[in-house]
């Protein structure tokens, strides 16, 4: 039986690579499909930075995805996907158009320009480095790749947020199929542990101890979460055979994982996006609804776990403290 890592690489055919630009507090993460995958997407945030998402609609003809690129750098960071596409073409990977192969590399970026350097962003070379680093071994988590400059808890305004990061988790269905999640957590909202209902990381109280717990009734229209930069971007992968429309439903259901672990979520200031991939050699045959329901439920559960793992693994960077470096926060966790 293959070794399991409790991350997205537990899904057969999925590799992950990071390029981390620690000094600039940004980076990118590439999810590689060793064999052609079917893909879909669901965008819920009001301020997305994305590439090739229309192509993933069930109404569109493309049935191949070769990689997904997640990056920091806001819209500038989408350039990393171009580097991935060119490098895959050189490997002979892509959709055959006769004269060449065109790699299908959907992408999404998060806003981290004010965590480190506003002028250094993931570019094509960064995407190539992440691709070259891709492996099926345990996924590095925390302040790496697309999660390097991520932060959470902006509802308290500037200076009270903490580090977000990159996390991954997986689960196995009763029939043996695997579902894996990977996410870069850079949210306006606070991060909650769905199992306990407690805040894991978020806006700090101005007193210096405790969480602000800025619930909607405490906020006003003058609150400016954009001051911290936002957007949570993630990928779900499975080896279960599903149709393209079924995968779109999985991506939709996975946003429940965002909603259980991030509050508030899908705000006008976020670009919350989830890609879904199936590495199965065949698409669903007959009634896929029962399997689809199980995959979607497991995807949401894996995603909420990945979100919590991301902030717990993060390290302080760019003057923004991480959960692990807040003694009072660690004390609260130990008491739960």
3-state secondary structure 309-331: HHHHHCCCECCECCHHHCHHHHH
CA distance 149 to 161: 12
CA distance 72 to 123: 10
Distance from chain centroid for Cα 154: 18
**3-class DSSP assignment, residue 257:** helix
Report the DSSP beta bridge partners of residue 28. Answer: 19, 71
More confident of the two residues 146 and 155? 146
| Preceding omega of 62 cis (within 30 degrees of 0) | no
- Is-above-0.85 flag for pTM? yes
User: How large is the average pLDDT for residues 174-196?
Assistant: 96
8 A C-beta contact, residue 316 and residue 163: yes
Q: Domains in the chain, please, with CATH? A: 8-335 (3.60.70.12)
Q: What is the pLDDT of residues 99-130, one digit of tens each?
A: 999 999 999 999 999 898 999 999 999 999 99
8 A C-beta contact, residue 273 and residue 235: no
**Helices 79-90 and 124-132 sit at what angle, rounded to 10 degrees?**
50
The DSSP call for residue 124 is H
Q: What is the pLDDT of residues 196-248, one digit of tens each?
A: 999 999 999 999 899 998 666 556 555 555 555 789 999 999 999 999 999 99
Q: What's the confidence (pLDDT) of residue 35?
A: 87
Q: Choose among 163, 166, 164, 161: nearest CA to 184.
A: 166
């Amino acid at each position: 039986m293959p070794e399991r890592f409790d991350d997205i690489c537990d899904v057969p055919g999925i590799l992950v690579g990071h390029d981390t630009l620690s000094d600039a507090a940004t980076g990118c993460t590439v999810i590689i499909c060793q064999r052609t995958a079917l893909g879909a997407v669901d965008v819920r945030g009001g301020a997305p930075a994305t590439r090739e998402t229309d192509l993933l609609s069930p109404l569109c003809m493309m049935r191949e995805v070769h990689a997904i690129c997640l990056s920091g750098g806001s819209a500038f960071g989408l350039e990393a996907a171009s580097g991935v596409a060119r490098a895959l073409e050189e490997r002979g990977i892509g959709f055959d158009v006769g004269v060449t192969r065109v790699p299908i590399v959907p992408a999404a970026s998060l806003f981290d320009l004010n965590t480190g350097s506003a002028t250094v962003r993931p570019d094509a070379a960064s995407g190539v480095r992440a691709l070259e680093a891709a492996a099926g071994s345990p996924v590095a988590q925390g302040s790496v790749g697309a999660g390097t400059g991520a932060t959470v808890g902006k509802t308290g305004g500037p200076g009270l947020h903490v580090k977000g990061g990159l996390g991954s988790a997986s689960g196995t269905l009763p029939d043996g199929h695997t579902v894996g999640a990977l996410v870069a957590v850079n949210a306006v909202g606070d991060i909650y542990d769905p199992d306990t209902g407690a805040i894991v990381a978020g806006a700090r109280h101005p007193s210096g101890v405790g969480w602000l717990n800025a619930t909607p009734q405490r906020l006003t229209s003058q609150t400016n979460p954009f001051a911290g930069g936002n957007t949570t971007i993630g990928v779900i992968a499975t080896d279960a055979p599903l149709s393209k429309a079924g995968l779109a439903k999985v991506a939709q259901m996975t946003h429940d994982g965002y909603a259980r672990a991030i509050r508030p979520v899908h705000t006008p200031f976020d670009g919350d996006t989830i890609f879904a991939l199936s590495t199965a050699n065949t698409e669903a045959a007959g009634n896929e609804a029962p399997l689809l329901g199980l995959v979607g439920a497991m995807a949401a559960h894996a995603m909420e776990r990945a979100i919590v793992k991301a902030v717990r693994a993060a390290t302080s960077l760019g003057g923004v403290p991480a959960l692990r470096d807040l003694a009072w926060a660690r004390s609260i966790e130990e008491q739960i």
